[in-house]
Amino acid sequence: MAAWRSLNQKQEFHEVYERGAKKVGRLVVVYLLPADDMARAVVASKKIGNAVKRNRGKRLLREAFRASFCGESDQIDHVMGLLKRLPRDSGSETGDPCAAKGLWVVLVARRNILAATSRDVREELDHLLGH
């Protein structure tokens, strides 16, 4: 499976927000959408605070993402397990998540992330993803 690319087009974000599965935590909101490739994005809005605070939140999310998705030797199996647990209506063009070859992930920082440690963010992300 190919390496993760960055989601960067407005239409891609809109598709993930509209059709993806949403999991809400105290520190992060995770959107997952089966797709044809592997892509990810980390978002921190101005509601989080100034640029320094937003950048800290995004750094924490990127590190948690790396630890959760890229640090495992069985990454492909893990991603496919995520796809099977998603609702049926959020699948690829066929409507079947199992037919997708990849996954789009968007991590959105919440205000509480500013008081959290890297370990807190990792543990919450693992909990939301069912690790």
| Nearest Cα to Cα of residue 56 among 123, 114, 105 | 114
With a cut of 60, say whether residue 126 has pLDDT above it: yes
Instruction: Quote the pTM value.
Output: 0.82
Q: What is the DSSP pairing of strand 39-43 with strand 21-24?
A: unpaired
Mean pLDDT of 55-61: 97
Please name the amino acid found at residue 21. Answer: A
Q: What percent of the chain has pLDDT over 90?
A: 60
Torsional sign, CA 48, 50, 56, 61 = positive
Task: Return the CA Rg of the chain.
Answer: 14
pLDDT of 130 reads 80
CB half-sphere exposure, 93, CA atoms < 13 A: 2
Q: Please check whether residue 27 is in contact with residue 64, taking contact to mean a CB–CB distance below 8 angstroms.
A: no
The predicted-structure confidence for 29-45, as pLDDT tens digits, reads as follows: 999 999 888 899 999 99
pLDDT of 90 reads 46
State the chain's mean pLDDT as an integer.
Answer: 84
The residues facing 40 across adjacent strands are 6, 105
- Distance of alpha carbon 122 from alpha carbon 120, whole angstroms: 6
pLDDT of 91 reads 47
With a cut of 50, say whether residue 73 has pLDDT above it: no
Confidence at 48, pLDDT banded by 50, 70, 90? very high
The predicted-structure confidence for 82-125, as pLDDT tens digits, reads as follows: 666 666 554 444 455 556 678 899 999 999 999 999 999 999 99
Q: Please check whether residue 11 is in contact with residue 76, taking contact to mean a CB–CB distance below 8 angstroms.
A: no
